[in-house]
Structure 1
Amino acid sequence: MMKLRLMPLLTLLFLLPMVATADTIEKISELIKQGNAHEIAKFFATSVDISILDETNVYSKAQSEMILDKFFKENKPHTVKLLHRINSNPNYNFGVLILTTDKGKFRVSYTLKEVNKVMAIIELRIETEKPN
């Protein structure tokens, strides 16, 4: 009888990590929609591999925030559509979305890695969305 009472709790404990990472992917997606580089930067790892359009480099957390903020100032976000997510690995997650801005559509992808028990963005790519 005691074992049956604990079953829902055990199920919840197994699902909690998946919910937390899904929330991180969606939270970042929502912050991108808002164009909020400052809040997104809170998810950045110490260094981030950033590729925006044709410029690629590894930047510090502070530099990454400035570069992303500049992108958002030049391309005001309107909508975001989450296309793809991979969160089956507890150490790595991946999200892909389409960002519609006042200047056009962009494909945004980001990779999260567990750093000190927190999921952090280690890679961010923004490229022009190619029409089908």
Structure 2
Amino acid sequence: MKNNMIILLLIASFSTTFLADQTDRVAALLQLGQAHELGKLCSNNLELSILGDEKTVSKAVAESQLNTFFSTNKPVAVKIIHRMDSNPSLIFAVAQLKTSGGNFRVSYSIKITNGNQEMTELRIETEKGP
């Protein structure tokens, strides 16, 4: 019964992922801890910052580092707390990521060029208290 619930949740999550806009798609993939799928959305040179370790990396390196992050911080919930899409060539969002290892603030930028959308920046920071 529990496995069936998990499967239904995953199917529902993936269904909404493909129907939602790119901002929501990234948030859904964060909640699922899907480093591989997030890697597919990245530009060839992604500005990646995970807990202060900031660098420009390839898609493969981004995927590997996200896998490492998700292995110690199992995602529980994601909530988009800010989004900006008034610029026709740039989307920016900030999300709150709750994990088994604590709460994080995730911000990401998606550049739109000739109809193609690629994530150009991803930052994961420890969430500061009120």
Question: Does the alignment reach a TM-score above 0.5?
Answer: yes
Gaps of 5+ in 1: 1-21
Whole-angstrom CA distance in 2 between matches of 1:66 and 1:88: 32
Match of 1:18 in 2: none
| 1:92 maps to which of 86, 90, 97 | 90
| 1:69 maps to which of 67, 70, 74 | 67
DSSP 3-state at the match of 2:21? helix
Match of 2:30 in 1: 32
Whole-angstrom CA distance in 1 between matches of 2:116 and 2:66: 21
Question: How far did 1:116 drift?
Answer: 4.5
Paired amino acid for 1:99? L
Between the two proteins, the alignment pairs up a number of residues equal to 111
CA distances 1:65-113 after superposition (whole Å, capped 9, x unpaired): 1111110111000000110001111110001000000011000000010
The alignment's TM-score, normalised by the length of structure 2, stands at: 0.82
Match of 2:11 in 1: none
Share of identical aligned residues, percent?
Answer: 43
**Superposition map of 1:1-132 within 5 A:** 23-132=21-130
Whole-angstrom CA distance in 1 between matches of 2:116 and 2:70: 25
CA distances 1:21-76 after superposition (whole Å, capped 9, x unpaired): x7100011000000000111111001100010010000011111111111011100
The alignment's TM-score, normalised by the length of structure 1, stands at: 0.81
Match of 2:5 in 1: none
Which entry has the higher C-alpha Rg, 1 or 2?
1
Q: 8 Å contact 1:45–1:115 — kept in the other structure?
A: no
